[in-house]
Amino acid sequence: MIRAVIIDDEQESRNAVLNILNNFCDNVIVVGEGDSVAQGVKIISEEKPDVIFLDIQMPDGTGFDLLEKTKGLKYKVIFVTAYDQFALKAIKFSALDYILKPVDPQQLIESVNRIKEPGYDVETITHKIQTLLRNKNGFERITLPTFEGYRFINIKDIVRCEADNNYTNFFLNSGEKILVTKTLKEYDETLSGLDFVRVHQSHLVNIKFVDRYIKGDGGTIVMADGSEVDVSRRRKEEFLKKMTDV
Give the tens place of pLDDT for each residue, 17-48. 999 999 999 999 999 999 999 999 999 999 99
Model pLDDT, residue 8: 97
Q: Nearest to residue 125, comparing CAs of 112, 139, 143?
A: 143
Average pLDDT for 171-199: 95
Considering the chain, what percentage of its residues have pLDDT values greater than 90?
Answer: 85
Whether residue 242 has pLDDT greater than 90: no
Model pLDDT, residue 119: 72
Find out whether 31 and 47 touch, Cβ atoms under 8 Å.
yes
Q: At residue 145, what is the residue type?
A: P
Model pLDDT, residue 85: 82
Domains, the chain, in order of start with CATH, read 2-134 (3.40.50.2300), 146-245 (2.40.50.1020)
CA dihedral 50, 145, 70, 63 (to 10 degrees): -100
For residue 161, the cross-strand partners are 170, 204
| Average pLDDT in the chain | 94
Whether residue 148 has pLDDT greater than 70: yes
Model pLDDT, residue 246: 59
The model's pTM: 0.79
Q: At residue 29, what is the residue type?
A: I
Find out whether 107 and 80 touch, Cβ atoms under 8 Å.
no
| Cα–Cα distance for residue pair 21/53, rounded to 1 Å | 11
